[in-house]
Structure 1
Amino acid sequence: MKRIGQYTKPTVLFVDMNSFFASCEQQVNFYLRDRPVAVCVYTGKQGCVIAPSVEAKRLGVKLGMRLDEAMQLCPGLVPVEINSKRYREFHVAIIDVLRQFTPDVFPKSIDEAVVDLTRCQLMYKDVWQVALQIKSDIRTKVGDWLRCSIGIAPNAFLAKLGSDLHKPDGLVMITPETIDDVLKDLHLTDLPGIGQRMAKRLQDQGILTPLNLRYASPERLRAVCKSIIGWHWHLRLNFGGEVDLETSAYKSMQAMRTVSASQRQSPEQLDELLQSLCLTLERRMMKQDVFCQEVTFSCRYHDSRNYGDEIKLPEPRQDGMELYNLIRQRFERFQHVNRCEPILNRSIRSMSVSVFRFIPAQLVPFSLFEDNTRKNTLRKAVYEVKAKFGSDKLMRATELRDNPVFRDVIGFGSIKDLHDDQNPF
């Protein structure tokens, strides 16, 4: 949804659940309430904190800290292993609450959503009261320990900015009359979407503050950003319409996991984890009915080294084991040519596989050298059976393991798979 044109009414709400994963754990376990909690993929001392609770944040525990470091900083910290199914269920329940106010609800991540009341202005005279009611309904209908910060503004970008200003449990409205007061005390990197590199580019051109950014001409911003992004910044900060709610197809898909200490000790488990990442992407591409034309593999090590590879596929691919074999062949060749240690070694910290440049399945050309039609048809049939009877009723031989190392985890990024049937975003 893209609306270009002067629009100053604050009818867009950005709902940001506070310390969502940890709050879900505190919701279901009364013992954890009012205690500093750290949600981790693994709770060994090398585990990584992926979601500290409000109480833990106040004591200095931050996202990405190693668990042993967090425990030294906060001896009373309670580590909890991630429960992805639980967070998905809470997410869906929260979205159901939001859709009671309007059908124009856009989930942005597992813990964020935009509620656009622009088409419901005759129903809601006071948007501030709507925000208060949303907070109340989440507490009474989903969980009494769940809190959210809400920003209200004429567009999603400014609403997101408002939701970040007062946490936890904040409520901020940004209008043409208040925006300068909001921006004057902020840094460029406080604005959603501006990282250190973009901030430096702007600063090098004399745009030092958010207010400078707001009052720069669109022509200057286009030149500085060298793209349409500059014009979008002008529209966002000057109430020129909505450019952040446009629905679009996937541009990429990623599967990434942190590697536990026990997994690092076993080459077989590391290999199994790589296979599982590729099969996860196969499942997602099957659901979207697309093939990829590019795949990347990357991993990080505990000594701060990195390895990455990008593969442009000669033919579109969807099969997870084909992607796995290509990645294995590439880094085995790299190991041979460079006479280096194995890519999957005992110091690996995380690994990631991403796929890009999608093409609809119906447009995939037939290969001149290999007939993949039967293989693609069989793969589709397998997933149809899984969808109907359960994912464990029909499995590949590669998925049959006594102690699977691949854990079901979920991040804070795209949650499109949860909503594609209802509201593609």
Structure 2
Amino acid sequence: MNIWTNLRKILHVDMDAFYASVEQRDDPFLLGKPVVVGGRPNSRGVVSAASYEARKFGIHSAMPLAEALRRCPQAVFLPVNGQKYREVSLQIREIFSAYTPMVEPLSLDEAFLDVTGSTSLFGPADTIALTIKKRIQQELNLTASVGLACNKFLAKLASDLRKPNGFVVVQPDRVQEFLDPLSVERIWGVGKKTAEQLHALNIKTIRDLRNLEQGYLTRLFGVSGTQLFQLAKGIDDRPVESDRVVKSIGRETTFATDVADLEVLKTALLTQAIDVGRSLRKEGFKGKTITLKVRYDDFRTVSRSRTLPRPTDLDNVIYQEACTLLREVSLKQPLRLIGVTLHNLTDQIEGQLSLFEEPQLDHETLNKVLDFVKEKYGEKSITRARLLRPKDIKEKDGENGIQV
């Protein structure tokens, strides 16, 4: 009897050094060289991606670019080209969709696929996985690492083990054999603090964790203790969700030098409000809760939020509310970062205008016109008068994002 019968077949596909690999693919000069994607090495940004050549020097994602330069002065530093990476990501997802509609993207470069219902058409799950890998390499000249297992947790672990260009299958009857030697840090939910607590108890491998009683873990870590116990046994019942709900859309700016000038901060907020509003309209959402986030020069982070009477996707509303929230935080210290995010999103038009409320039709029409002009003639074809000033703001690359 086939040991996979009546079990889910889940793939986790993870592109190898995605941003850096795309840049190396598109520029033969970069092949074999240490490539760091993130921006100028003398900026205050962080590494978004590092090629495997750069990783040999200890460079990794989220490392300050200045540290990456110190470790590898000969590295090639490139800005984040979000538009290009999104286009390649869509091409990858088209390949996924040829084999299953059950695709759950986690980011531009990784996704879960449930191919349980696809085996009658395309053959065994391992054949589907290898076919997807082959198509990505042949059609896009990129490599992906793939894990195949009966649940998401195991598939994700498997895809990480033999990078780059790896393929690992976790057989259902060998789950514990696969898990036991791995460090406890491999388990979802085990961060630095939890790992320190477990190490203090001489728990270093998943086998050590599995041998504890569930009740003991629950007393130590609460509800998450139960989850740790389940994962240590390879139990994960979460489905692959093909329709993920967008929870927030936001924009942040990290300044090249700390900023205390209120006008510079407001200009940054206006740029962000325009970007967020446009993203909302493009995705077909409106947001009801606006959050302002600031980070001071000592890295202390403060946020303020306000829920609006009704959802909005209008640039001016987002900007005015963000400025109002800015007045609620102290500006006695200069800021390292400022950002605005819309939460509580809806794709429905909620509520109705009050008899005394100013109609928004003119603003909605204006925003649609601006969106159209930028789409057709480019981002710099039209802008706000306030933004036509010397470039006080130098941003960290790659901070624009939709969170799900």
Give the TM interval when normalised to the shorter protein.
0.7 to 0.9
Go from structure 1 to structure 2 and tell me whether the alpha carbon gap of 1:412 and 1:303 turns closer, same or farther (over 3 Å shift). same
- C-alpha offsets along residues 95-137 of structure 1, whole Å, 9 cap, x if unaligned? 2223333333332211112232111111343333332332222
> 1:158 corresponds to which letter in structure 2?
L
Is 1:350 the equivalent of 2:312?
no
- C-alpha offsets along residues 195-250 of structure 1, whole Å, 9 cap, x if unaligned? 34566788999997545766889898888776699569848955564434263322
**Aligned-partner SS, 2:273:** helix
> 2:388 corresponds to which letter in structure 1?
R
**Aligned-partner SS, 2:307:** strand
- The separation in 1 between residues aligned to 2:65 and 2:371, in whole angstroms, is 40
> What is the match of residue 153 of structure 1?
149
- C-alpha offsets along residues 285-307 of structure 1, whole Å, 9 cap, x if unaligned? 22344332322222334533333
Go from structure 1 to structure 2 and tell me whether the alpha carbon gap of 1:236 and 1:184 turns closer, same or farther (over 3 Å shift). closer
TM-score of the superposed pair, with normalisation by structure 1: 0.78
Identity of aligned residues (%): 26
> What is the match of residue 312 of structure 1?
307
- The separation in 2 between residues aligned to 1:315 and 1:105, in whole angstroms, is 33
1:162-177 alignment runs, 5 A limit: 162-177=158-173
- The separation in 1 between residues aligned to 2:355 and 2:5, in whole angstroms, is 54
Instruction: Choose which of 365, 368, 384 in structure 1 pairs with 2:352.
Output: 365
**Aligned-partner SS, 1:355:** strand
- The separation in 2 between residues aligned to 1:109 and 1:370, in whole angstroms, is 40
Instruction: Choose which of 318, 323, 332 in structure 1 pairs with 2:318.
Output: 323
Go from structure 1 to structure 2 and tell me whether the alpha carbon gap of 1:217 and 1:412 turns closer, same or farther (over 3 Å shift). farther
**Aligned-partner SS, 1:260:** strand
Is 1:24 the equivalent of 2:22?
yes
1:189-268 alignment runs, 5 A limit: 189-196=185-192, 210-211=206-207, 230=226, 234=230, 238=234, 241-245=237-241, 247-261=243-257, 268=263
- C-alpha offsets along residues 359-407 of structure 1, whole Å, 9 cap, x if unaligned? 4442233236413342464256436745874565985635863777687
Whether the aligned pair in 2 keeps the contact of 1:158 and 1:174 (CA below 8 Å) is yes
- The separation in 1 between residues aligned to 2:285 and 2:172, in whole angstroms, is 43
Is 1:38 the equivalent of 2:26?
no
Go from structure 1 to structure 2 and tell me whether the alpha carbon gap of 1:167 and 1:406 turns closer, same or farther (over 3 Å shift). same
Whether the aligned pair in 1 keeps the contact of 2:292 and 2:325 (CA below 8 Å) is no
- The separation in 1 between residues aligned to 2:85 and 2:285, in whole angstroms, is 27
Root-mean-square deviation (CA, aligned residues, Å) is 4.0
- The separation in 2 between residues aligned to 1:229 and 1:301, in whole angstroms, is 35
> 2:168 corresponds to which letter in structure 1?
V
> What is the match of residue 187 of structure 1?
183
Instruction: Choose which of 332, 340, 344 in structure 2 pairs with 1:341.
Output: 332
**Superposition deviation, residue 35 in structure 1:** 1.1
Go from structure 1 to structure 2 and tell me whether the alpha carbon gap of 1:164 and 1:248 turns closer, same or farther (over 3 Å shift). same
> What is the match of residue 56 of structure 1?
54
> What is the match of residue 423 of structure 1?
none
TM-score of the superposed pair, with normalisation by structure 2: 0.81
Whether the aligned pair in 2 keeps the contact of 1:221 and 1:231 (CA below 8 Å) is no
- The separation in 2 between residues aligned to 1:295 and 1:112, in whole angstroms, is 29
Go from structure 1 to structure 2 and tell me whether the alpha carbon gap of 1:260 and 1:123 turns closer, same or farther (over 3 Å shift). same
Whether the aligned pair in 2 keeps the contact of 1:205 and 1:224 (CA below 8 Å) is no
Unaligned residue ranges in structure 1 (runs of 5+): 1-5, 417-425
> 2:161 corresponds to which letter in structure 1?
L
**Superposition deviation, residue 94 in structure 1:** 1.8
**Superposition deviation, residue 37 in structure 1:** 1.1
> 1:272 corresponds to which letter in structure 2?
T
- The separation in 1 between residues aligned to 2:262 and 2:15, in whole angstroms, is 39
Q: Give the stretch that moved more between structures: 58-67 or 326-335.
A: 326-335
- The separation in 1 between residues aligned to 2:118 and 2:339, in whole angstroms, is 42
Whether the aligned pair in 1 keeps the contact of 2:310 and 2:350 (CA below 8 Å) is no
Instruction: Give the total of aligned pairs.
Output: 400
Is 1:278 the equivalent of 2:265?
no
**Superposition deviation, residue 284 in structure 1:** 2.5
**Aligned-partner SS, 1:38:** strand
> What is the match of residue 132 of structure 2?
134
**Superposition deviation, residue 266 in structure 1:** 7.4
**Aligned-partner SS, 1:123:** helix
Go from structure 1 to structure 2 and tell me whether the alpha carbon gap of 1:96 and 1:326 turns closer, same or farther (over 3 Å shift). same
> 1:12 corresponds to which letter in structure 2?
I
Go from structure 1 to structure 2 and tell me whether the alpha carbon gap of 1:331 and 1:383 turns closer, same or farther (over 3 Å shift). closer
Instruction: Choose which of 352, 359, 378 in structure 1 pairs with 2:365.
Output: 378
